[in-house]
Structure 1
Amino acid sequence: MEQTKALNALEPYLALSKSATAHRAAADLITQATSNPNTYVFAELLQTPQIQALAQSPDHTDHLKLLEIFSYGTYANFTSTTSLPPLNDAQTLKLRQLSLLTLAKNPHNLSYAALQQSLSLPNARAVEDLVISAVYAGLVNAQLDPRNGVVHISSVSPLRDLAPGSIPSTLNSLREWSGRCTSTLEDLEAQIASIKVAAAKRHNDKKASAEQAARLVDEEKNAEQGVHSQRQGAMLNRALARIQGQRFGKRGSGSLEPNADEDEAMDVDEEEPDDGEGGSGTSGTALGGPGKKRANRRKL
């Protein structure tokens, strides 16, 4: 999105470059394009024949070098190059913002002190103001860390042009990055495989432990049931033995040993002969009269 917006902002200057046949007009077009607050890419303008023709003009070749610095250079390149045209305030701010995009590639360049030196800023407050302006312009996502004096940049908009001859080095950097990605993926796959093997081993060990615990529980239950059955059998045998002993003891004592206490006594009433019949009448009247029964007890 940032590239599209920057290219759209550059379109009017590309159209004007077709009619800027005079070197002075081409130089003024460079000043206007670099001062616009919405233009951040300049490769298309730099490649136009009218702008490239400035290399043949001794009086305006410095404007071509200035456009090259805006396209892929830094503020340090501007300060180290002599005879360049002076910058207005808008150009100065923009060149420092574009330089911040380049410096953000290396985190070591993002300390307050390093940025202050690279961008020719007077103090730390100026560094913070520049970073804030770049954030509001959508050039970077950054956080200020005044306590540690560091700027933390998480993302950078792709708004810098490639310098001439930088494609081979860029390709080498991309190959190195691809190699690191491949190595990292291989390491991750190896770690994942190792984790899977360890997880499978833990699962098998856990399963074996659970089976062993269940087997021990079953054995313990079976052992307890066996002991309980033996105790019940022993108690049952003792009970049967007592019952049988009592039975046999009663039978032996009733049939073999006489016991006078267990004999039953039977009382039988016997009629004695009436005295009137078998004895004297006087005796019968004295004992109870005629026909009176006398009970005699006899033990059977």
Structure 2
Amino acid sequence: MEQTKALNALEPFLALSKSATSPRAAIDLIRQATSAPNTFLFAELLQTQPIASLASSPDADAKAAHALLRIFSHGTYESYTSTPGLPSLSDAQTVKLRQLSLLSLARDRDNLAYGVLQQKLGLDTHREVEELVITAIYAGLINGTLDPARQTVQVTSIAPLRDLAPGAVPQLAATLKVWSERCTTTLGGLEAQITQIRQQAATRHAEENKAKAKLDKAISEVDEKDLAINRAQDAFLRPKNWQQRAQNMESQGGELMEVDEPLGMDDQQMRRSKRKW
């Protein structure tokens, strides 16, 4: 959204560049474009023929104006102050160049301390640093907060409102390649860990099934042994009880003694036959 807004703000100056046939007109156009609000991208203006021709102009002012526009495009306030022969800046140009410089500096957290920003942006006090950061936030250039206690700026996001410097594409491609390789390595490590975890889970599942089968087998064997013991006890106790009852009946003259177990059908028939005798 901010990028679209900045491109739309530059459109009138791109249209005016077609009629800037003289170096003086082109220089004045640069001054207007760098002073106007919401103009933060200047690569297209640099590529227009009237502006590009200033770089090879014999006029020193024309060359200086072209160099100034390049600084607004991808330079910083520090590079402006270190380059001799550049035109002086108006108040609006000074604020804008410092805001653009803040965009570049905000990519590195080490640059966000009040003292570092004060030095690199040519400011006199920490209060001026805070005021500049606030204007950048309201302009939509950055999102962040001030941390006066720690004397630093906490930046959470940066608007894509800086042009790429000449020769920056190969460096950017190299950086992206390194990042891509790191991502590939990280993904490979994650996939290896996932595979290992799945193998461990499968091994645990197999061991659990094996242990369960072993337990079920042991329980089944115990049940079979208990059943065999019960059958053996029944087979051993039944004849003994029958003989004891028969002896008791004979000793009592045919009277049936009380026993612990109830009489079955065979016992009742035997009692009837005894009584008939």
Paired position in structure 1 for 2:268: none
* Gapped regions of structure 1 (runs ≥ 5): 254-300
Residue by residue, what CA displacement relative to the aligned partner does 1:257-287 show, whole Å, maximum 9, x if unpaired? Answer: xxxxxxxxxxxxxxxxxxxxxxxxxxxxxxx
Per the alignment, residue 50 of structure 2 pairs with 50
Q: Does 1:209 align with 2:211?
A: yes
- Distance in 2 between residues matched to 1:114 and 1:215, nearest whole Å: 76
**Which residue of structure 2 aligns with residue 70 of structure 1?**
72
Task: Tell me the amino acid that sits aligned with residue 135 of structure 1.
Answer: I
CA distance 1:221–1:18, shift in 2 (3 Å): same
Q: Which residue of 2 aligns with 1:187?
A: 189
Instruction: Give the residue type in structure 1 aligned to 2:77.
Output: Y
**What one-letter code is carried by the residue in structure 1 that aligns with 2:162?**
R
User: Cα distance, 1:187 vs. partner?
Assistant: 1.7
Helix, strand or coil at the partner of 2:124: coil
Which whole-Å deviations, capped at 9, do the CAs of 1:188-218 have from their partners, x for residues lacking one?
A: 2222212221222222233333333444444
Question: Which residue does 1:6 correspond to in 2?
Answer: 6
Match of 2:139 in 1: 137
Identity of aligned residues (%): 50
Query: CA 1:195 to 1:243, structure 2 compared with 1: closer, same or farther past 3 Å?
Result: same
Is 1:156 the counterpart of 2:158 in the alignment? Answer: yes
The amino acid of 1:61's aligned partner reads K
Once the two structures are superposed, residues 232-277 of structure 1 have per-residue CA deviations (whole angstroms, 9 ceiling, x without a partner) of: 5555455334213213434699xxxxxxxxxxxxxxxxxxxxxxxx
Partner amino acid, structure 2, of 1:25: A
Correspondence 1:239-258 to 2 at 5 A: 239-250=241-252
Give the CA deviation at 1:73.
0.5
Q: Secondary structure at the match of 1:59?
A: helix
Deviation at 1:128, TM superposition (A): 3.1
* Distance in 1 (alpha carbons) for counterparts of 2:132 and 2:218: 75
**How far off its partner does 1:17 sit?**
0.9
**Structure-1-length-normalised TM-score:** 0.74
| 1:21-56 deviations in Å (ceiling 9; x for gaps) | 222221121111111221110001011121123233
**Could you say which structure has the larger radius of gyration?**
1
Gaps of 5+ in 2: 256-277
Higher relative contact order (CA 8 A, sep 6+): 2
In the alignment, the residues of structure 2 paired with residue 115 and residue 125 of structure 1 have an alpha-carbon distance, to the nearest angstrom, of 11
Name the Cα RMSD after superposition: 2.6
Amino acid corresponding to residue 178 of structure 1 in structure 2: S
Name the SS of the counterpart of 1:120 in structure 2: coil
Q: Cα distance 1:226–1:116, how it changes in 2: closer, same or farther (>3 A)?
A: farther
SS in 1 for 2:60: coil
SS at match of 2:123: coil
1:27 corresponding residue in structure 2 = 27
Q: SS of the counterpart of 1:20?
A: coil
Distance of aligned partners of 1:206 and 1:236 in 2 relative to their CA distance in 1, 3 Å threshold? same
**Inter-CA distance 226–135: structure 2 relative to 1 (3 Å threshold):** farther
Q: What pairs with 1:257-276 in structure 2 (closer than 5 Å)?
A: none
Q: How is 1:197-236 mapped onto 2 (pairs within 5 angstroms)?
A: 197-230=199-232, 236=238
Aligned residues: 253
Q: Distance in 2 between matches of 1:47 and 1:214?
A: 83
